[in-house]
Structure 1
Protein backbone atom coordinates (compact mmCIF):
# COMPACT_ATOMS: atom_id res chain seq x y z
CA UNK A 1 0.00 0.00 0.00
CA UNK A 2 2.83 2.39 0.87
CA UNK A 3 4.50 1.64 -2.43
CA UNK A 4 1.26 2.37 -4.28
CA UNK A 5 0.83 5.69 -2.49
CA UNK A 6 4.45 6.61 -3.21
CA UNK A 7 3.92 5.77 -6.87
CA UNK A 8 0.84 7.98 -7.07
CA UNK A 9 2.67 10.87 -5.42
CA UNK A 10 5.62 10.46 -7.79
CA UNK A 11 3.28 10.39 -10.79
CA UNK A 12 1.54 13.54 -9.58
CA UNK A 13 4.87 15.33 -9.09
CA UNK A 14 6.11 14.38 -12.56
CA UNK A 15 2.83 15.47 -14.10
CA UNK A 16 2.88 18.77 -12.18
CA UNK A 17 6.36 19.43 -13.52
CA UNK A 18 5.24 18.74 -17.06
CA UNK A 19 2.26 21.05 -16.70
CA UNK A 20 4.55 23.78 -15.41
CA UNK A 21 6.65 23.31 -18.53
CA UNK A 22 3.54 23.64 -20.68
CA UNK A 23 2.70 26.88 -18.87
CA UNK A 24 6.11 28.39 -19.53
CA UNK A 25 6.80 27.44 -23.13
CA UNK A 26 5.17 26.51 -26.42
CA UNK A 27 5.19 22.77 -26.99
CA UNK A 28 7.46 21.52 -29.74
CA UNK A 29 5.71 20.54 -32.96
CA UNK A 30 6.35 16.98 -34.15
CA UNK A 31 7.23 16.35 -37.77
CA UNK A 32 3.68 15.19 -38.36
CA UNK A 33 2.23 18.32 -36.80
CA UNK A 34 4.54 20.50 -38.86
CA UNK A 35 3.44 18.77 -42.07
CA UNK A 36 -0.22 17.83 -41.75
CA UNK A 37 -1.07 20.56 -39.24
CA UNK A 38 0.77 23.37 -40.98
CA UNK A 39 0.03 26.97 -40.13
CA UNK A 40 -2.90 28.48 -42.01
CA UNK A 41 -4.75 25.21 -42.61
CA UNK A 42 -8.53 25.43 -42.95
CA UNK A 43 -9.92 23.13 -40.29
CA UNK A 44 -13.53 21.99 -39.80
CA UNK A 45 -14.66 20.75 -36.40
CA UNK A 46 -17.71 18.50 -36.82
CA UNK A 47 -19.89 18.03 -33.73
CA UNK A 48 -23.34 16.66 -32.94
CA UNK A 49 -24.63 19.06 -30.27
CA UNK A 50 -24.00 22.52 -28.86
CA UNK A 51 -21.46 22.10 -26.00
CA UNK A 52 -19.50 19.29 -27.73
CA UNK A 53 -16.97 21.89 -28.88
CA UNK A 54 -16.16 22.94 -25.30
CA UNK A 55 -16.89 19.74 -23.40
CA UNK A 56 -14.76 17.49 -25.60
CA UNK A 57 -12.74 19.44 -28.18
CA UNK A 58 -11.52 22.59 -26.40
CA UNK A 59 -7.87 21.38 -26.23
CA UNK A 60 -7.92 20.65 -29.96
CA UNK A 61 -9.49 24.00 -30.88
CA UNK A 62 -7.06 25.95 -28.72
CA UNK A 63 -4.13 23.78 -29.77
CA UNK A 64 -4.86 24.40 -33.43
CA UNK A 65 -5.21 28.10 -32.68
CA UNK A 66 -1.57 28.01 -31.57
CA UNK A 67 -0.77 26.65 -35.01
CA UNK A 68 -2.73 29.51 -36.64
CA UNK A 69 -5.43 27.33 -38.14
CA UNK A 70 -8.53 28.92 -39.64
CA UNK A 71 -11.21 27.13 -37.62
CA UNK A 72 -14.79 26.49 -38.74
CA UNK A 73 -17.50 24.49 -37.00
CA UNK A 74 -20.36 22.35 -38.29
CA UNK A 75 -22.95 21.28 -35.70
CA UNK A 76 -25.50 18.69 -36.84
CA UNK A 77 -28.25 19.54 -34.34
CA UNK A 78 -29.54 22.39 -32.21
CA UNK A 79 -29.54 20.20 -29.09
CA UNK A 80 -33.31 20.27 -28.80
CA UNK A 81 -33.78 17.10 -26.70
CA UNK A 82 -35.38 19.13 -23.89
CA UNK A 83 -36.90 21.76 -26.23
CA UNK A 84 -34.02 24.17 -25.58
CA UNK A 85 -32.80 24.39 -29.16
CA UNK A 86 -32.98 28.16 -29.55
CA UNK A 87 -31.22 28.73 -26.23
CA UNK A 88 -28.52 26.20 -27.04
CA UNK A 89 -27.79 27.69 -30.45
CA UNK A 90 -27.10 31.06 -28.82
CA UNK A 91 -24.93 29.38 -26.19
CA UNK A 92 -22.93 27.64 -28.90
CA UNK A 93 -22.17 30.93 -30.65
CA UNK A 94 -21.07 32.46 -27.33
CA UNK A 95 -18.81 29.48 -26.61
CA UNK A 96 -17.27 29.59 -30.07
CA UNK A 97 -16.53 33.28 -29.59
CA UNK A 98 -14.62 32.45 -26.40
CA UNK A 99 -12.71 29.70 -28.24
CA UNK A 100 -11.85 32.01 -31.13
CA UNK A 101 -14.23 30.66 -33.79
CA UNK A 102 -16.16 33.59 -35.34
CA UNK A 103 -19.91 33.38 -35.80
CA UNK A 104 -19.49 33.65 -39.58
CA UNK A 105 -17.73 30.28 -39.56
CA UNK A 106 -20.29 28.42 -37.43
CA UNK A 107 -22.99 26.36 -39.18
CA UNK A 108 -25.82 24.81 -37.14
CA UNK A 109 -28.11 22.31 -38.86
CA UNK A 110 -31.53 22.47 -37.24
CA UNK A 111 -33.97 20.06 -38.86
CA UNK A 112 -35.85 16.87 -38.10
CA UNK A 113 -33.37 14.70 -40.04
CA UNK A 114 -30.85 14.98 -37.21
CA UNK A 115 -32.71 15.03 -33.88
CA UNK A 116 -30.77 15.34 -30.64
CA UNK A 117 -31.73 11.87 -29.47
CA UNK A 118 -29.46 8.96 -28.49
CA UNK A 119 -32.25 6.60 -29.49
CA UNK A 120 -32.30 7.75 -33.13
CA UNK A 121 -29.77 6.55 -35.69
CA UNK A 122 -28.85 9.32 -38.11
CA UNK A 123 -28.68 8.29 -41.75
CA UNK A 124 -24.99 7.83 -42.64
CA UNK A 125 -25.32 8.78 -46.28
CA UNK A 126 -27.27 11.94 -45.45
CA UNK A 127 -24.70 13.04 -42.87
CA UNK A 128 -21.86 12.24 -45.28
CA UNK A 129 -23.40 14.23 -48.15
CA UNK A 130 -23.89 17.36 -46.06
CA UNK A 131 -20.42 17.08 -44.55
CA UNK A 132 -18.73 16.57 -47.91
CA UNK A 133 -20.54 19.55 -49.41
CA UNK A 134 -19.38 21.71 -46.51
CA UNK A 135 -15.79 20.51 -46.93
CA UNK A 136 -15.77 21.21 -50.67
CA UNK A 137 -17.45 24.63 -50.50
CA UNK A 138 -15.08 25.84 -47.79
CA UNK A 139 -11.94 24.20 -49.22
CA UNK A 140 -11.24 22.39 -45.94
CA UNK A 141 -7.79 20.84 -45.35
CA UNK A 142 -8.51 19.06 -42.06
CA UNK A 143 -11.67 17.53 -40.57
CA UNK A 144 -11.82 16.86 -36.82
CA UNK A 145 -14.57 14.79 -35.20
CA UNK A 146 -15.30 11.90 -32.82
CA UNK A 147 -13.89 8.38 -33.07
CA UNK A 148 -15.89 5.13 -33.13
CA UNK A 149 -16.52 5.37 -29.37
CA UNK A 150 -17.94 8.88 -29.56
CA UNK A 151 -16.19 9.74 -26.23
CA UNK A 152 -19.45 9.25 -24.31
CA UNK A 153 -20.92 6.50 -26.48
CA UNK A 154 -23.70 8.82 -27.73
CA UNK A 155 -25.17 7.46 -30.97
CA UNK A 156 -25.23 10.95 -32.55
CA UNK A 157 -21.47 11.31 -31.95
CA UNK A 158 -20.81 7.88 -33.41
CA UNK A 159 -22.96 8.72 -36.46
CA UNK A 160 -20.52 11.51 -37.35
CA UNK A 161 -17.57 9.13 -37.18
CA UNK A 162 -19.40 6.55 -39.29
CA UNK A 163 -20.08 9.14 -41.99
CA UNK A 164 -16.52 10.49 -41.96
CA UNK A 165 -15.12 6.97 -42.04
CA UNK A 166 -17.29 6.11 -45.05
CA UNK A 167 -16.16 9.22 -46.96
CA UNK A 168 -12.53 8.51 -46.15
CA UNK A 169 -12.62 4.82 -47.05
CA UNK A 170 -14.37 5.58 -50.35
CA UNK A 171 -11.81 8.27 -51.20
CA UNK A 172 -14.44 11.01 -51.49
CA UNK A 173 -12.64 13.70 -49.53
CA UNK A 174 -10.79 16.22 -51.71
CA UNK A 175 -7.09 15.60 -52.26
CA UNK A 176 -5.07 16.97 -49.37
CA UNK A 177 -7.93 16.81 -46.85
CA UNK A 178 -6.97 14.86 -43.72
CA UNK A 179 -9.17 13.55 -40.91
CA UNK A 180 -8.42 13.54 -37.17
CA UNK A 181 -10.59 11.65 -34.67
CA UNK A 182 -10.73 12.31 -30.94
CA UNK A 183 -9.68 9.30 -28.88
CA UNK A 184 -12.28 7.82 -26.52
CA UNK A 185 -10.87 6.59 -23.21
CA UNK A 186 -12.16 4.55 -20.28
CA UNK A 187 -13.84 6.13 -17.27
CA UNK A 188 -10.71 5.99 -15.08
CA UNK A 189 -8.63 7.88 -17.63
CA UNK A 190 -11.49 10.25 -18.38
CA UNK A 191 -11.70 11.62 -14.84
CA UNK A 192 -8.15 11.31 -13.47
CA UNK A 193 -6.49 13.72 -15.85
CA UNK A 194 -3.13 13.94 -14.03
CA UNK A 195 -2.46 10.22 -14.33
CA UNK A 196 -4.02 10.20 -17.79
CA UNK A 197 -1.47 12.74 -18.97
CA UNK A 198 1.36 10.40 -18.02
CA UNK A 199 -0.42 7.53 -19.78
CA UNK A 200 -0.95 9.67 -22.88
CA UNK A 201 2.69 10.70 -22.99
CA UNK A 202 3.84 7.08 -22.78
CA UNK A 203 1.45 5.64 -25.35
CA UNK A 204 1.05 6.17 -29.05
CA UNK A 205 -1.23 8.77 -30.55
CA UNK A 206 -0.76 10.86 -33.64
CA UNK A 207 -1.47 14.23 -32.01
CA UNK A 208 -1.54 15.25 -28.35
CA UNK A 209 -2.78 18.67 -27.24
CA UNK A 210 -2.21 19.71 -23.62
CA UNK A 211 -3.57 23.04 -22.42
CA UNK A 212 -1.71 25.53 -20.26
CA UNK A 213 -3.44 26.81 -17.12
CA UNK A 214 -4.49 29.96 -19.01
CA UNK A 215 -5.99 27.86 -21.80
CA UNK A 216 -7.79 25.62 -19.29
CA UNK A 217 -9.42 28.75 -17.88
CA UNK A 218 -10.42 29.73 -21.43
CA UNK A 219 -11.90 26.27 -22.04
CA UNK A 220 -13.88 26.53 -18.81
CA UNK A 221 -15.23 29.94 -19.82
CA UNK A 222 -16.42 28.41 -23.08
CA UNK A 223 -18.14 25.59 -21.23
CA UNK A 224 -19.77 28.03 -18.79
CA UNK A 225 -21.43 29.69 -21.80
CA UNK A 226 -23.66 26.61 -21.94
CA UNK A 227 -25.63 27.73 -18.89
CA UNK A 228 -28.68 25.62 -19.75
CA UNK A 229 -26.53 22.48 -19.48
CA UNK A 230 -24.66 23.22 -16.25
CA UNK A 231 -26.24 20.60 -14.01
CA UNK A 232 -24.23 19.50 -10.97
CA UNK A 233 -22.58 16.52 -12.67
CA UNK A 234 -21.37 18.68 -15.57
CA UNK A 235 -19.78 21.07 -13.09
CA UNK A 236 -17.87 18.10 -11.70
CA UNK A 237 -16.99 17.14 -15.27
CA UNK A 238 -15.47 20.59 -15.84
CA UNK A 239 -13.30 20.17 -12.75
CA UNK A 240 -12.06 16.64 -13.33
CA UNK A 241 -12.39 15.53 -16.96
CA UNK A 242 -9.29 15.08 -19.07
CA UNK A 243 -11.20 16.43 -22.09
CA UNK A 244 -11.12 19.90 -20.58
CA UNK A 245 -7.32 19.73 -20.58
CA UNK A 246 -6.03 16.96 -22.86
CA UNK A 247 -6.96 15.73 -26.34
CA UNK A 248 -5.27 12.77 -27.97
CA UNK A 249 -6.20 12.25 -31.61
CA UNK A 250 -5.54 9.82 -34.42
CA UNK A 251 -5.46 10.27 -38.20
CA UNK A 252 -7.73 8.08 -40.33
Structure 2
Protein backbone atom coordinates (compact mmCIF):
# COMPACT_ATOMS: atom_id res chain seq x y z
CA UNK A 1 0.00 0.00 0.00
CA UNK A 2 2.84 2.35 0.85
CA UNK A 3 4.46 1.71 -2.53
CA UNK A 4 1.11 2.29 -4.27
CA UNK A 5 0.65 5.55 -2.40
CA UNK A 6 4.11 6.78 -3.39
CA UNK A 7 3.44 5.81 -6.99
CA UNK A 8 0.16 7.71 -7.07
CA UNK A 9 1.79 10.73 -5.43
CA UNK A 10 4.62 10.73 -7.92
CA UNK A 11 2.18 10.35 -10.81
CA UNK A 12 0.05 13.26 -9.58
CA UNK A 13 3.11 15.46 -9.12
CA UNK A 14 4.33 14.60 -12.61
CA UNK A 15 0.92 15.41 -14.07
CA UNK A 16 0.86 18.79 -12.31
CA UNK A 17 4.38 19.65 -13.50
CA UNK A 18 3.54 18.67 -17.08
CA UNK A 19 0.30 20.66 -17.00
CA UNK A 20 2.19 23.71 -15.73
CA UNK A 21 4.75 23.26 -18.50
CA UNK A 22 1.99 23.11 -21.14
CA UNK A 23 0.47 26.25 -19.67
CA UNK A 24 3.78 28.13 -19.90
CA UNK A 25 4.32 26.88 -23.44
CA UNK A 26 0.86 27.95 -24.57
CA UNK A 27 1.08 31.45 -23.09
CA UNK A 28 4.64 31.91 -24.34
CA UNK A 29 3.76 30.90 -27.90
CA UNK A 30 0.84 33.30 -27.99
CA UNK A 31 2.62 36.22 -26.37
CA UNK A 32 6.39 35.75 -26.57
CA UNK A 33 7.95 38.92 -27.97
CA UNK A 34 4.55 40.50 -28.62
CA UNK A 35 2.82 41.59 -25.46
CA UNK A 36 -0.86 42.10 -24.76
CA UNK A 37 -2.21 45.25 -26.44
CA UNK A 38 -1.67 48.25 -24.13
CA UNK A 39 -4.82 50.07 -22.97
CA UNK A 40 -3.57 53.34 -24.44
CA UNK A 41 -3.98 55.27 -27.64
CA UNK A 42 -0.33 55.51 -28.67
CA UNK A 43 -0.12 55.08 -32.43
CA UNK A 44 2.72 54.44 -34.84
CA UNK A 45 2.86 58.01 -36.10
CA UNK A 46 4.95 61.15 -35.82
CA UNK A 47 4.73 62.62 -32.33
CA UNK A 48 3.86 59.37 -30.57
CA UNK A 49 6.25 58.95 -27.68
CA UNK A 50 7.00 56.97 -24.56
CA UNK A 51 9.02 58.06 -21.55
CA UNK A 52 10.77 55.70 -19.16
CA UNK A 53 11.54 57.25 -15.76
CA UNK A 54 14.19 55.37 -13.77
CA UNK A 55 16.41 55.88 -10.75
CA UNK A 56 19.67 54.20 -11.85
CA UNK A 57 21.58 53.84 -15.14
CA UNK A 58 20.97 50.07 -15.37
CA UNK A 59 17.26 50.08 -14.52
CA UNK A 60 16.21 50.17 -18.18
CA UNK A 61 17.58 46.67 -18.86
CA UNK A 62 17.26 45.09 -15.40
CA UNK A 63 13.54 45.79 -15.06
CA UNK A 64 11.98 47.29 -18.20
CA UNK A 65 13.55 45.46 -21.15
CA UNK A 66 10.40 43.51 -22.20
CA UNK A 67 8.33 46.70 -22.41
CA UNK A 68 11.05 48.76 -24.09
CA UNK A 69 11.71 46.16 -26.77
CA UNK A 70 7.99 45.99 -27.55
CA UNK A 71 7.70 49.79 -27.77
CA UNK A 72 10.76 50.21 -29.96
CA UNK A 73 9.46 47.39 -32.14
CA UNK A 74 6.42 49.59 -32.75
CA UNK A 75 8.79 52.36 -33.86
CA UNK A 76 7.73 54.71 -31.09
CA UNK A 77 10.04 57.49 -30.00
CA UNK A 78 11.29 56.22 -26.65
CA UNK A 79 12.88 58.63 -24.16
CA UNK A 80 14.80 57.90 -20.99
CA UNK A 81 14.70 60.15 -17.94
CA UNK A 82 17.12 58.76 -15.36
CA UNK A 83 17.10 60.66 -12.07
CA UNK A 84 20.73 59.98 -11.25
CA UNK A 85 23.84 62.13 -11.36
CA UNK A 86 25.71 59.00 -12.45
CA UNK A 87 23.76 58.96 -15.70
CA UNK A 88 25.11 62.38 -16.70
CA UNK A 89 28.67 61.17 -16.17
CA UNK A 90 27.95 57.98 -18.08
CA UNK A 91 26.55 59.83 -21.07
CA UNK A 92 29.46 62.23 -21.06
CA UNK A 93 31.81 59.26 -21.34
CA UNK A 94 29.71 57.66 -24.10
CA UNK A 95 29.54 54.29 -22.34
CA UNK A 96 27.35 52.24 -20.01
CA UNK A 97 23.79 53.49 -20.44
CA UNK A 98 24.31 54.64 -24.02
CA UNK A 99 25.63 51.22 -25.03
CA UNK A 100 22.84 49.53 -23.09
CA UNK A 101 20.15 51.50 -24.88
CA UNK A 102 21.79 50.82 -28.22
CA UNK A 103 21.64 47.11 -27.43
CA UNK A 104 17.91 47.41 -26.81
CA UNK A 105 17.33 49.55 -29.90
CA UNK A 106 19.99 51.38 -31.85
CA UNK A 107 18.11 54.49 -32.90
CA UNK A 108 14.99 54.93 -30.80
CA UNK A 109 16.32 56.71 -27.73
CA UNK A 110 16.92 60.30 -26.82
CA UNK A 111 18.68 61.12 -23.57
CA UNK A 112 17.10 63.64 -21.25
CA UNK A 113 19.34 65.23 -18.64
CA UNK A 114 18.74 68.83 -17.67
CA UNK A 115 15.76 69.49 -19.96
CA UNK A 116 12.30 68.24 -19.05
CA UNK A 117 10.45 65.84 -21.34
CA UNK A 118 7.06 67.06 -20.12
CA UNK A 119 7.87 70.68 -20.94
CA UNK A 120 9.66 70.08 -24.21
CA UNK A 121 6.99 67.80 -25.67
CA UNK A 122 3.75 68.68 -23.96
CA UNK A 123 3.36 72.40 -23.27
CA UNK A 124 1.69 74.90 -25.52
CA UNK A 125 2.55 78.56 -25.90
CA UNK A 126 0.33 79.60 -22.99
CA UNK A 127 1.99 77.24 -20.51
CA UNK A 128 -0.89 74.76 -20.55
CA UNK A 129 -0.83 71.12 -21.59
CA UNK A 130 -1.55 69.82 -25.07
CA UNK A 131 -3.15 66.56 -26.10
CA UNK A 132 -0.28 64.28 -27.10
CA UNK A 133 -0.04 60.56 -27.73
CA UNK A 134 2.34 59.37 -25.04
CA UNK A 135 2.81 57.02 -22.15
CA UNK A 136 5.07 57.12 -19.11
CA UNK A 137 6.55 53.95 -17.63
CA UNK A 138 8.03 53.83 -14.15
CA UNK A 139 8.13 51.84 -10.91
CA UNK A 140 5.14 51.22 -8.66
CA UNK A 141 4.97 52.24 -5.00
CA UNK A 142 6.93 49.13 -3.93
CA UNK A 143 9.77 49.87 -6.36
CA UNK A 144 10.18 46.22 -7.52
CA UNK A 145 13.00 45.63 -5.05
CA UNK A 146 11.85 48.00 -2.33
CA UNK A 147 14.70 50.37 -3.21
CA UNK A 148 14.10 53.83 -1.75
CA UNK A 149 15.14 55.56 -4.98
CA UNK A 150 12.71 53.49 -7.06
CA UNK A 151 9.90 54.35 -4.67
CA UNK A 152 10.84 58.05 -4.75
CA UNK A 153 10.59 58.04 -8.55
CA UNK A 154 7.08 56.61 -8.31
CA UNK A 155 5.92 59.32 -5.92
CA UNK A 156 7.53 62.05 -8.02
CA UNK A 157 5.66 60.91 -11.14
CA UNK A 158 2.47 60.45 -9.15
CA UNK A 159 2.66 64.00 -7.82
CA UNK A 160 2.99 65.39 -11.36
CA UNK A 161 0.10 63.22 -12.51
CA UNK A 162 -2.23 64.09 -9.64
CA UNK A 163 -1.55 67.81 -10.14
CA UNK A 164 -2.33 67.44 -13.86
CA UNK A 165 1.12 68.58 -14.92
CA UNK A 166 1.33 65.88 -17.59
CA UNK A 167 -0.23 65.95 -21.08
CA UNK A 168 -3.97 65.42 -21.11
CA UNK A 169 -3.82 62.17 -23.07
CA UNK A 170 -0.75 60.79 -21.33
CA UNK A 171 -1.24 57.59 -19.36
CA UNK A 172 1.06 56.30 -16.65
CA UNK A 173 2.00 52.62 -16.47
CA UNK A 174 3.67 51.39 -13.28
CA UNK A 175 5.71 48.20 -13.23
CA UNK A 176 4.14 45.62 -10.95
CA UNK A 177 6.24 44.47 -8.00
CA UNK A 178 5.97 40.79 -7.03
CA UNK A 179 7.06 38.79 -4.01
CA UNK A 180 10.61 37.47 -3.85
CA UNK A 181 9.63 33.90 -4.78
CA UNK A 182 7.92 35.00 -7.99
CA UNK A 183 10.70 37.47 -8.72
CA UNK A 184 13.31 34.74 -9.02
CA UNK A 185 11.55 31.89 -10.82
CA UNK A 186 12.21 33.39 -14.26
CA UNK A 187 9.84 32.26 -17.02
CA UNK A 188 8.08 29.91 -14.57
CA UNK A 189 6.20 32.98 -13.31
CA UNK A 190 4.45 33.36 -16.67
CA UNK A 191 1.16 31.55 -15.82
CA UNK A 192 0.95 33.40 -12.48
CA UNK A 193 1.57 36.74 -14.16
CA UNK A 194 -1.03 35.90 -16.78
CA UNK A 195 -3.71 35.09 -14.20
CA UNK A 196 -2.98 37.97 -11.82
CA UNK A 197 -4.77 41.30 -12.48
CA UNK A 198 -2.82 43.65 -14.75
CA UNK A 199 -3.53 46.15 -17.49
CA UNK A 200 -0.75 45.22 -19.87
CA UNK A 201 1.78 42.42 -20.10
CA UNK A 202 4.93 42.05 -22.18
CA UNK A 203 6.80 38.76 -22.68
CA UNK A 204 10.20 38.45 -24.33
CA UNK A 205 11.10 35.69 -26.74
CA UNK A 206 14.59 34.17 -26.71
CA UNK A 207 15.94 36.76 -29.15
CA UNK A 208 14.62 39.63 -27.03
CA UNK A 209 16.01 38.05 -23.88
CA UNK A 210 19.46 37.95 -25.48
CA UNK A 211 19.13 41.64 -26.32
CA UNK A 212 18.25 42.39 -22.70
CA UNK A 213 21.28 40.45 -21.48
CA UNK A 214 23.56 42.24 -23.91
CA UNK A 215 22.24 45.55 -22.63
CA UNK A 216 23.07 44.57 -19.05
CA UNK A 217 26.57 43.50 -20.07
CA UNK A 218 27.17 47.12 -21.09
CA UNK A 219 27.00 48.08 -17.41
CA UNK A 220 30.28 46.39 -16.54
CA UNK A 221 30.69 48.27 -13.25
CA UNK A 222 27.40 46.75 -12.05
CA UNK A 223 28.12 43.16 -13.02
CA UNK A 224 28.89 41.65 -9.65
CA UNK A 225 28.39 37.90 -9.25
CA UNK A 226 24.79 38.16 -8.02
CA UNK A 227 23.85 40.25 -11.07
CA UNK A 228 24.84 37.34 -13.29
CA UNK A 229 22.42 35.16 -11.33
CA UNK A 230 19.78 37.86 -11.73
CA UNK A 231 20.09 37.69 -15.51
CA UNK A 232 19.09 34.02 -15.49
CA UNK A 233 16.59 33.86 -12.66
CA UNK A 234 14.72 37.17 -12.58
CA UNK A 235 11.24 37.19 -14.13
CA UNK A 236 11.81 40.85 -15.10
CA UNK A 237 14.26 39.71 -17.75
CA UNK A 238 11.34 37.97 -19.49
CA UNK A 239 8.09 39.44 -18.17
CA UNK A 240 6.72 42.91 -17.47
CA UNK A 241 3.23 43.46 -16.08
CA UNK A 242 1.92 46.99 -15.60
CA UNK A 243 -0.96 48.70 -13.85
CA UNK A 244 -2.44 52.01 -14.90
CA UNK A 245 -1.86 54.76 -12.36
CA UNK A 246 -5.09 56.27 -11.11
CA UNK A 247 -5.46 59.83 -9.93
| TM range, smaller chain | 0.7 to 0.9
CA distance in 1, matches of 2:17, 2:217: 31
Deviation at 1:185, TM superposition (A): 0.6
CA distance in 2, matches of 1:149, 1:96: 25
CA distance in 2, matches of 1:47, 1:93: 14
Which residue among 67, 86, 94 is the counterpart of 2:99?
94
Residues 206-217 of structure 1: matches in 2 within 5 Å? Answer: 206-217=199-210
Q: Which residue of structure 2 aligns with residue 66 of structure 1? A: 73
Q: Which residue of structure 2 aligns with residue 134 of structure 1? A: 117
Which residue among 175, 180, 183 is the counterpart of 2:173?
180
Q: SS of the counterpart of 1:250?
A: strand
Q: SS of the counterpart of 2:51?
A: strand
CA distance in 2, matches of 1:212, 1:72: 23
Q: SS of the counterpart of 1:90?
A: coil
TM-score by length of 1: 0.79
Confirm or deny: 8 A CA contact 1:50 1:78 kept in the other structure. Answer: no
CA distance in 1, matches of 2:226, 2:171: 35
Q: Which residue of structure 2 aligns with residue 127 of structure 1? A: none
Deviation at 1:22, TM superposition (A): 4.1
Q: Which residue of structure 1 aligns with residue 151 of structure 2? A: 158
Name which one, 1 or 2, has greater alpha-carbon Rg. Answer: 2
Q: SS of the counterpart of 2:95?
A: helix
Which residue among 87, 94, 112 is the counterpart of 1:107?
112
Structure 1: runs of 5 or more not aligned: 110-129
CA distance in 2, matches of 1:231, 1:7: 36
Deviation at 1:102, TM superposition (A): 4.3
- How far does the alpha carbon of each residue in 1:46-104 deviate from its partner, in whole angstroms, 9 at most, with x for none? 11111000000001100112332110101111449xxxx54997201100111116497
Which residue among 175, 181, 186 is the counterpart of 1:193?
186
Residues 232-243 of structure 1: matches in 2 within 5 Å? Answer: 232-243=225-236
Q: SS of the counterpart of 2:80?
A: strand
1:14 aligns with 2:7: no
Aligned residue pairs total 223
Confirm or deny: 8 A CA contact 1:98 1:218 kept in the other structure. Answer: yes
Deviates more, 1:156-165 or 1:136-145: 136-145
CA distance in 2, matches of 1:62, 1:204: 22
CA distance in 2, matches of 1:91, 1:230: 11
Give the superposed CA RMSD. 2.6
